[in-house]
Amino acid sequence: MRYISTRGDQTPRRFCEILLEGLAPDGGLYLPERYPTVDRETLSQWRQLSYAELAFEILSLYIDDIPADDLKALCDKTYTAAVFGTSEIVPVRRLEGDLCIEALSNGPTLAFKDMAMQLLGNLFEYELARRGETLNILGATSGDTGSAAEYAMRGKRGVRVFMTSPKGRMSPFQQAQMFSLLDENIHNIAIEGVFDDCQDIVKAVSNDLAFKSAHRIGTVNSINWARLLAQVVYYFSGYLQATTDDDAQVSFAVPSGNFGNVCAGHVARMMGLPIRQLVVATNENNVLDEFFRTGVYRVRASAETYETSSPSMDISKASNFERFIFDLLGRDGARVKALFHDALNRGGQFDLGDEPVFKEAAARFGFVSGTSTHQDRLETIRDVYAKHGELIDTHTADGVKVARSHMTPGVPMLVLETALPIKFAETIVEATGQEPPRPAKFAGIEALPKRVLNMPADVDQVKAYIQAHT
């Protein structure tokens, strides 16, 4: 399998090349030259597999430069009950009728990002050891990516992590998870701004090819294809758990800000997984919902990015969205570059509403969307708790709220659970009056010593810090 850029660079690259590289040299994101297809017979055979075995089968379709035995060992090492709390890894539970929850938050940091990040950490360590090299990871987080990356990379040979986050915009629990890690290879940088400012810094550094090469800069954000690929696996697992017939359809509702999680669903659907709808659930920062309703993709400035009670989705520039638009436009790299580089830099938006392909977003690719507000998530959390005795986090509540408006009789709707409620305790208490349960390993985490550097949203200062600590 070879990989190409969404912005037109057709130079074929193998998986391990792009694993360590992040963005393509032309600023685009990597995608496979083609999506491998999975037929119904294969789906049937996969029903008997463990999650680690399923991961190996799917990853093998995209990775041909890691020996099969080594790749299998990496999957077996990653997806264990000891790490994820259950042998099912991502158990599906019925909430009401055809509405189900797929639990993705049983990992070390209680968020769905662990599903991919634990594998990514093992892949990095494996490939760097094979090459005898080191890697400096520069990331941006709105809450969960950072802690998942740091927990996955702490102690990994040959890896340093420099994680940027928007100062004061994560929940106290999220901040404590990250900033209390005192490992020598972990560096936390709190940026004065919003998540998009952090993400812009990561992209700017990645686009400085000389600096990137000299300091061995890699990424763990979902712009890294390896992370997104790992997320594809749980779509297949959810489908196999929710159905008994290989021709049956399911839908997925996905809380989304950066379009990474739901983009993995798009890849699974392109591979042939019988997904009826991919429901994009946004919060008040509803850039993606606006696009799927109108065809207008309008990036919003920092001052227009709302601080909400589902903070991991407080994003107004969806990096992974470029991958979908590449497919929507027939893989026209020049057109994608004109939209995501030229049009966005010039006017902060583009409009596909009048183009015939826009209708294909729903008709051909299955995308629908909706927005959830603070009041919506309070009511949803309160309703689910009252009816089912179950607490859900704020982002999952956004997913449930939007999912309920897109149900199809007889078609299971799987809401991807993005985090455990304890990460957003203040809103859970506001909704229900109940303090969410806290795993014993996180008792008193907010009181632990913390190490974090405050910094303005300045690319040069971030570069200087990386240079001084490598």
DSSP helix, strand, coil percent of the chain (3-state; round to 5): 45, 15, 35
Q: Where are the beta strands (DSSP E) in 321-393?
A: 349-351, 367-371
Nearest residue to 143 (alpha-carbon basis) of 121, 112, 120: 112
CA 87 to CA 251: how far, in whole Å?
24
CB 393 within 8 A of CB 103: no
What is the spatial distance between Cα 384 and Cα 397, in angstroms, rounded to a whole number?
Answer: 9
Please state, in angstroms and rounded to a whole number, the distance separating the CA atoms of residues 342 and 338. 5
C-alpha 344/C-alpha 422 separation (Å) is 37
Catalytic positions: 113
Provide the H-helix boundaries in 22-134. 40-46, 51-60, 68-78, 81-84, 113-131
State the Cα–Cα distance between residues 371 and 64, nearest whole angstrom: 40
What's the residue count for the chain?
Answer: 470
> Could you give the CA distance from residue 232 to residue 38 in angstroms, rounded to a whole number?
13
E strand or H helix at 416:
strand 413-417
Distance of CA 287 to the CA centre of its chain: 17
Q: Tokens 């990015």 correspond to what residue?
A: 305
If you ran DSSP here, which 8-state letter would residue 31 be given?
E
Separation in Å, CA 409 to CA 98, 343, 406, 415: 8, 41, 10, 16
Q: At a CB cut-off of 8 Å and minimum separation 6, what does 159 contact?
A: 121, 124, 125, 128, 134, 135, 137, 153, 185
Token pair, residue 163, equals: 């994680």
CB-facing half-sphere around the CA of 183: CA atoms within 13 A: 19
Reading the block at residue 361, the tokens are 């977003």
In Å, how far from its chain's centre is CA 294?
24
> How far is residue 156's CA from residue 273's CA, in Å, rounded to a whole number?
34
CA 406 to mean position of chain CA atoms? 22
**What is the secondary structure of 364-377 as a DSSP string?**
TT-EEEEE--HHHH
